[in-house]
Amino acid sequence: MAGASVKATVVAHGKHDKVRIFKMRRRKHYQKHGGHRRAFTELQIGAVNA
């Protein structure tokens, strides 16, 4: 909708759980470990005005 507005407040900042990454090539003696944690912002929606 054109002209709509949303009121939101920031509740928390943080990081999600770790995602394990494991790469391997068979018979080539190649193994690689890694990890990643995505940052997030948690919002609380107070009101939606249309």
Question: What pLDDT score was predicted for residue 50?
Answer: 87
d(CA 14, CA 49): 29
Question: What pLDDT score was predicted for residue 1?
Answer: 77
Which range of residues forms the domain containing residue 43? 5-49
Q: How many domains does the chain have?
A: 1
Question: What pLDDT score was predicted for residue 40?
Answer: 97
The 3-state DSSP class for residue 1 equals coil
Considering the entire predicted model, what is its pTM? 0.58
Question: What pLDDT score was predicted for residue 22?
Answer: 97
Predicted confidence (pLDDT) per residue in 1-50, tens digit? 789 999 999 999 999 999 999 999 999 999 999 999 999 999 999 999 98
